[in-house]
Amino acid sequence: MPAFMEPFRIKAVEPIPFPSVAGREAALTEAGYNIFRVPARLITIDLLTDSGTSAMSAAQWSALLSGDESYAGARSFERFERVVRDLTGYPEVIPVHQGRAAERIVLHELLGEGDVSVSNTHFDSTRASVEAAGAEAVDLPVEYDDTAPFGGGIDIERLGRLLAGDARVRCVVLTVTNNANGGQPVSIGNARAVRHMCDEHDVPFLLDASRFAENAYLVISRSPDMTDRTPREIAGEIWLS
Ligand SMILES: Cc1ncc(COP(=O)(O)O)c(C=O)c1O
């Protein structure tokens, strides 16, 4: 495959709006310069998020038709559950409609007033859930170095100091990849070290695995000793770390 092109053809087109400069300025003023409050119908190119911005493959679209939407006991759910269990090794699978719903459920269970959540970087909706629970969100990303292959991890030394101190740390959230910090990948070594420290201090280790597949791909492409590994194997290691 030539390196300069993507190996697919895009089959669907969707019209996009082209509001005038005056219209865009009015929308921004009306939203109080909070980009979350600008209606999507006024956005030409959405740089707020990567969610929902890519096209689905022909195989994904056709799977929608053969999917089983039964009210109870759906075959599609059984398949989903099997794949998640197999990938993560976790027995319990609770589906949610979006990541922010999962964050809301878990973080409101774990956190209260005066508690602390630590992360490589809390994604914006994660931070919102932490703060809505009355807790403090502390980001401890590794120091930026544009030559390092894995710029997405947690600063292990600072995490150690925080866990050993007086702060009421109630969870550590490892965001894989580190979306709010340049989408940098997290190494398996960093994930293992974080998991180990959480176990030592009896603090729940939470994985925000929104981009576990991309992380697995980047681990392989940036680790000379892993070229014979598959993304599927590496994806499994993030959970069993
Ligand atoms: C790292 C990360 N965590 C959580 C979320 C929230 O997920 P959702 O948009 O499905 O609510 C996102 C969304 O992009 C994300 O990138």
User: pTM, whole model, 2 decimals?
Assistant: 0.89
Distance 210 CA to ligand 1 centre (A): 6
Parse the chain into domains and list their residue ranges.
98-240
Asked whether 206 lines ligand 1 (CB < 6 A), one says: no
Ligand 1 mean position to 179 CA, how many Å?
9
Indicate whether residue 179 lines ligand 1 (CB < 6 A): yes
E strand intervals along the chain: 116-119, 136-139, 169-175, 205-208
Residue pLDDT tens, the chain, 241 long? 777 888 888 888 888 999 999 999 999 999 999 999 999 999 998 888 777 777 888 998 999 999 998 999 999 999 999 999 999 999 999 999 999 999 999 999 999 999 999 999 999 999 999 999 999 999 999 998 888 999 999 999 999 999 999 999 999 999 999 999 999 999 999 999 999 999 999 999 999 999 999 999 999 999 999 889 999 999 988 877 5
- State phi, psi for 192 to the nearest 5 degrees: -65, -45
Cβ-based neighbours of 108, under 8 Å, separated by 6 or more: 129, 132, 133
If you search the block for the tokens 């914006």, which residue do you land on?
124
CA of 125 to the centre of ligand 1 (A): 7
State the fold for domain 98-240. Answer: Aspartate Aminotransferase; domain 2 (3.40.640)
Is residue 212 lining ligand 1, measured as CB closer than 6 Å?
no
- Tell me how far the alpha carbon of residue 20 lies from the centroid of ligand 1, in angstroms: 31
Measured CA angle at 193 (ends 181, 186), to 5 deg: 30
Please answer whether residues 130 and 111 qualify as being in contact, where contact means their C-beta atoms are separated by less than 8 angstroms: yes
Cβ atoms 176, 191 nearer than 8 A = yes
Distance CA 178, CA 196 (A): 20
Q: What residues pair up with 118 in beta bridges, in sequence order?
A: 138, 172
Q: Note whether 153 and 172 are within 8 A (CB).
A: no
* Type and span of the H or E element at 222: helix 212-222
Sign, Cα dihedral of 157, 163, 167, 171: positive
